[in-house]
A and B are shown apart, each in its own frame.
Chain A
Amino acid sequence: EVQVVESGGGLVQPGRSLRLSCTVSGFTFGDYAISWVRQAPGKGLEWVGFIRSKGYGGTTEYAASVKGRFTISRDDSKSFAYLQMNSLKTEDTAVYYCTRGDDFWSGYYPWGQGTLVTVSS
């Protein structure tokens, strides 16, 4: 069974940092790009960014709203991806989902259960 699990969410003050983790099973992690998508409470889905597989350079792409503050990385040996979030703002409060996809153009499957990040003083 293909599965994705996120962790690391919690309550954090504005301006601070937090790192989310994503682990997968049921497929060869290193063969795929890993994306992050967030959903603010009661709102729609917002793409955060993704990291390509090493075969495609392992490069990253980000939404304008997080570029320069968020960094996505991956450790293929452990089948883990990370979302490092710095200079957090209250508007970053959301459930963060990790999912598998291929670059900008593919659909995302599967999705994890999400991890809630609350940015508040």
Chain B
Amino acid sequence: QSALTQPPSVSGAPGQRVTISCTGSSSNIGAGYKIHWYQQLPGTAPKLLIYDDSNRPSGVPDRFSGSKSGTSSSLAITGLQAEDEADYYCQSYDSILSAVVFGGGTKLTVL
């Protein structure tokens, strides 16, 4: 049982908008610790997609955006493309566990 909960899967058609939620608690997201998001394409290493809740590293398209509210965070992908099909993970810090924690991951399927 991860400290951060993500839906196992989401799907959308090309061009659509999808969101992936990351639900935590008062000891991680709710405490104000930053959320980071990763994209892992099949057979490859994770890639930083969003850092510090809502910032995009250089080279990441602005179709990807992050937000945070209360004890939850969301990753939104607009203008869905076939190449976005991947696993997505959220990451934060948990003060009770004194550990970096990852969500269980969400598999995005582009229909």
Using a CB–CB distance below 8 Å, which chain A residues touch chain B?
35, 37, 44-47, 50, 61, 63-64, 97, 104-114
Contact = CB atoms under 8 A, between A and B. Distances in A.
A99 B17 CA distance: 30
B61 to A, nearest CB: 16
B111 interface: no
A47 B100 contact: yes
Contacts of B97: 64
Interface of B: 2, 33-34, 36, 38, 44-48, 50-52, 57, 89, 91, 93, 97-105
Contacts of A106: 34, 36, 51
B105 A47 contact: no
A45 B34 contact: no
B57 A45 contact: no
Contacts of A46: 102
A108 B48 contact: yes
A35 B38 CA distance: 15
A71 B73 CA distance: 33
B99 A45 contact: no
Given A107-B36, A107-B52, A44 B105 contact: yes
8 contacts: A35-B100, A45-B38, A45-B91, A97-B46, A105-B33, A107-B52, A107-B91, A109-B57
B19 to A, nearest CB: 19
B1 to A, nearest CB: 12
Contacts of B33: 105
A60 B44 CA distance: 27
A47 B45 contact: no
B45 A44 contact: no
A113 B45 contact: yes
